[in-house]
Chains A and B, each alone.
Chain A
Amino acid sequence: DVKVTQSSRYLVKRTGEKVFLECVQDMDHENMFWYRQDPGLGLRLIYFSYDVKMKEKGDIPEGYSVSREKKERFSLILESASTNQTSMYLCASSLPGDQPQHFGDGTRLSIL
């Protein structure tokens, strides 16, 4: 079974802090994705990556950056956290093509 592991289930940070959310997958998937999930808005794509050291902006990249130094690890960075970034963050990975994505359990991030 594919395992996507997100480093924290719950995280509380303060406004202005730099925040790192880590995601690791163990199935050698090329593609990795970061979403945020908010009530009534569904899943919105922040960034994605098709390979090591490459990244593509999703629908809502503002205020975020990513890093993919190794194939199995995809990090989401909040450069200067703001209260409107309080949300559930979901990481996913997939093989290329019309393949389903496999999700981690999510990180519920609160910015105070």
Chain B
Amino acid sequence: AQSVTQLGSHVSVSEGALVLLRCNYSSSVPPYLFWYVQYPNQGLQLLLKYTSAATLVKGINGFEAEFKKSETSFHLTKPSAHMSDAAEYFCAAALTDDKIIFGKGTRLHILP
């Protein structure tokens, strides 16, 4: 079955520390992958997308993600967390019928 799995519904990091949000996808999912961010009471905003041009994808706000086919992973990282990064993050994959399948989301908490 096609699925996108995010490990950890809540992640807490200290301000200035590395952010790592984990995402794994089922091998039956075509490798068109995205990360979205949702701030409180807002819609989802595209952070970055993997298009097979490069395995390391840079996005907005200093985030990047690395596509690893052998691990079926697409983890999101940021070297140094900022208070403004507190939000919910969704990993997603595009399906062949133009739909997108979303992970359940990870809420990122930044500790002062």
Contact = CB atoms under 8 A, between A and B. Distances in A.
Interface of A: 4, 9, 31, 33, 40-43, 45, 48, 50, 58, 90, 92, 94, 96-106, 108
Given A50-B98, A103-B44, A106-B41, A98 B30 contact: yes
B105 A105 contact: no
Contacts, number: 53
B64 to A, nearest CB: 16
Interface string B36-61: 10000111111001000000000000
B52 to A, nearest CB: 10
Contacts of B98: 31, 48, 50, 94, 96-97, 99
Given A42-B90, A98-B94, A4 B102 contact: no
* Interface size class, chain B: 20 to 34
A27 to B, nearest CB: 13
B100 A105 contact: no
A41 B104 contact: yes
Given A43-B102, A90-B43, A101-B44, 13 more contacts: A33-B99, A40-B9, A41-B104, A92-B43, A97-B94, A97-B98, A98-B30, A99-B98, A100-B49, A103-B44, A106-B41, A106-B42, A106-B43
A108 B42 CA distance: 10
B46 A100 contact: yes
A9 B41 CA distance: 9
A32 to B, nearest CB: 11
B41 to A, nearest CB: 7
Nearest to B35: A100
Nearest to A31: B98
Given A31-B98, A41-B104, A98-B32, A103 B43 contact: yes
